[in-house]
């Protein structure tokens, strides 16, 4: 009878313990996941259509993919650039970089646009090749420069998917204004470097430009240093709780079995703290009887 009670209590215990242990694993955001996230983005737009239950979802849910953050595919370090963006703020966060010999100063957003909506951005038609009409949407522009006349030229639409190229954390902006050849569109490569020393949140430096078309910047920031993910912290706490509970379980069941089998006790007397409680209550009784 009591053995079956023990077994049921053990199984209840393990059911209780198993539930919080469903730790949501995060995925490594290597290139394959980036492709998957693009796919899921395009399928999100199709969600407004009536659901099609016949087609099973092939990719795992990408709900853990936060914009502007990335897991290093090899070290599994977590990198979050969100604090450098306007994603969680109402204000527009813009970074500037001096052009030096390029004679134009740059304004950049990280994972977001440095421009307010509906600001005119020059698409830069200057070639003999007839181009399809192009209208740049300032809410999508990720970085721009201003020329002497005050016109703004886009050097790429922002992206909020950082990519690791080996050890280098990068962000690529594409589809800016037309390049001088009238065919290509200006694009920008941001390379992030972990820097725990600098006082600003980030320091953006213009490194160079190729063919007046492709721009390269270095961003030194503490946000490019790996951090532990919140989920990981929670996992550590759960593991600690589990070890504590396991120790308690071993202590109580060990004492229980010892008293039951070795001391051959039955009922309440097989609880490990029974003897202790007994002593305490008898000591209290003694005190009470002494003082009375
Ligand atoms: C770029 O910024 C520097 C310093 O802020 C300023 O002196 C210079 O005139 C600016 N250049 C342009 C093209 O706006
Ligand atoms: C500009 O882009 C934003 C964000 O993608 C979009 O919501 C808005 O409708 C676009 N505006 C125009 C005029 O296309
Ligand atoms: C850039 O524009 C082209 C043509 O409009 C489009 O096919 C391509 O996907 C765009 N690239 C990005 C990164 O948005």
Choose one of 157, 163, 175 to mutate for the ligand 3 pocket test, by most ligand atoms within 8 angstroms of C-beta.
175
Q: 63 in a domain, yes or no?
A: no
Residues forming beta bridges with residue 107, ordered by sequence position: 96, 144
Burial of 114 (0-12, 13-18, 19+ CB in 10 A): buried
Cα 14 to middle of ligand 3, angstroms: 52
Identify the CATH number of the domain in which residue 219 sits.
2.70.130.10
- In a shared domain, residues 94 and 202: yes
Query: Mean pLDDT over residues 126-139, rounded?
Result: 72
Is residue 32's pLDDT more than 70?
A: no
Residue 33 lies in a domain: no
Give the distance (Å) from ligand 3 centre to CA of residue 185.
10
56 in any annotated domain: no
Q: What pLDDT, on the 0 to 100 scale, is given for residue 85?
A: 94
pLDDT at 203: 95
In this predicted model, what pLDDT tens digit does every residue of 151-202 receive, in sequence order?
899 999 999 999 999 999 999 999 999 998 888 999 999 999 999 998 889 9
Domain extent for 95: 69-224
Same-domain check for residues 188 and 246: no
28 domain residue, yes or no = no
The pTM of this model reads: 0.62
Average pLDDT over residues 115-127: 80
Please report whether residue 49 resides in a domain: no
pLDDT at 20 over 70: no
Instruction: Report the distance separating Cα 72 and Cα 167, nearest Å.
Output: 8
Same domain, yes or no: 149 and 263: no
- In a shared domain, residues 133 and 270: no
175 lines ligand 3 (CB under 6 A): yes
Residue 15 has pLDDT above 50, yes or no: no
Q: Using CB atoms within 10 Å of the CB of residue 254, give its burial: 0 to 12 exposed, 13 to 18 middle, 19+ buried.
A: exposed
Sequence-distant (6+) residues with CB within 8 A of 121 are 115, 136, 138, 141, 144, 152, 153, 154, 177
Helix, strand, coil % over all residues of the chain, rounded to 5: 35, 20, 45
Residue 244: inside a domain, yes or no? yes
Which of 99, 143, 103 shows the shortest CA–CA distance to 121? Answer: 143
* Domain count across the chain: 2
The reply to whether 112 and 218 lie within a common domain is yes
Residue 206 counted as domain residue: yes
Q: Which residues line ligand 1 (CB under 6 A)?
A: 98, 103-105
Residues 38-51: pLDDT tens digits? 455 444 444 455 55
pLDDT digits (tens, 9 = 90+) for 88-101: 998 999 999 999 99
pLDDT in the model for residue 234: 67
The verdict on 79 and 170 lying in the same domain is yes
Whose C-alpha lies nearest to ligand 3, atom 5? 175
Q: How many helices (H) and strands (E) does the chain have?
A: 4, 11
Residue 148 Cα: closest atom of ligand 1: 13
- For 223, phi and psi rounded to 5 degrees? -75, -10
Residue 17 within any structural domain of the chain: no
pLDDT band at residue 215, thresholds of 50, 70 and 90?
very high
Same domain, 215 and 249: no
CB atoms within 10 A of CB 81: 24
Same domain, 94 and 160: yes
Residues 232-281 pLDDT 10s: 566 777 777 888 888 888 888 877 777 777 777 777 676 666 666 566 56
Give the C-alpha distances (Å, rounded to integers) separating 55 from 36, 39, 171. 17, 15, 34
Do 82 and 189 lie in a common domain? yes
* Mean pLDDT estimate for the chain: 76
Mutate which of 45, 140, 154 for ligand 2? The one with the most ligand atoms within 8 Å of its CB, which is: 140
Q: Does any ligand 2 atom lie closer than 6 A to the CB of residue 64?
A: no
pLDDT at 143 over 70: yes
d(CA 161, CA 35): 11
Cα gap 147→145, rounded to integer Å: 7
- Are residue 171 and residue 215 in the same domain, yes or no? yes
Report the SS3 class of residue 267: helix
Is the domain of 187 the same as that of 270? Answer: no
Average pLDDT over residues 106-129: 84
Q: Are 118 and 170 found together in one domain?
A: yes
């Amino acid at each position: 009878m009591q053995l079956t009670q023990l077994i049921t209590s053990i199984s209840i215990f393990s059911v209780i313990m198993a539930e919080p242990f469903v730790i949501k694993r995060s995925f490594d955001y290597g290139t394959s996941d980036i492709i998957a996230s693009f796919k899921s983005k395009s399928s999100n737009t199709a969600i407004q259509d009536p659901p099609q239950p016949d087609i099973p979802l092939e990719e795992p849910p990408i709900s853990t993919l936060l914009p502007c953050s990335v897991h290093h595919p090899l070290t599994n370090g977590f990198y979050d650039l969100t604090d450098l963006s306007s994603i969680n703020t109402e204000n527009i966060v813009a970074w500037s970089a001096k052009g030096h010999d390029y004679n134009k100063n740059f304004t950049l957003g990280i994972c977001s646009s440095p421009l307010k909506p509906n600001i005119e951005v020059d698409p830069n038609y200057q070639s003999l090749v007839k181009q399809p009409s192009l209208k740049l949407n300032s809410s999508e522009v990720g970085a721009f420069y201003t020329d002497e006349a005050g016109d703004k030229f886009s050097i790429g639409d922002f992206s909020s998917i950082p990519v690791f190229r080996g050890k280098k954390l990068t962000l690529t902006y594409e589809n800016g204004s037309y390049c001088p050849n009238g065919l290509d569109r200006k694009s920008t490569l941001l390379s992030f470097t972990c820097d725990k020393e600098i006082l600003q949140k980030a320091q953006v430096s213009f490194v160079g430009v190729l063919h007046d078309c492709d721009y390269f910047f270095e961003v030194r920031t503490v946000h490019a240093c790996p951090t532990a993910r919140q989920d990981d912290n929670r996992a550590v706490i759960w593991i600690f709780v589990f070890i504590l509970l396991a120790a308690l379980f071993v202590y109580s069941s060990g004492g229980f079995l010892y008293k039951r089998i070795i001391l051959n006790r039955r009922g309440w007397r097989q609880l490990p703290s029974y003897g202790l409680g007994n002593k305490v209550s008898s000591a209290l009784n003694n005190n009470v009887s002494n003082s009375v």
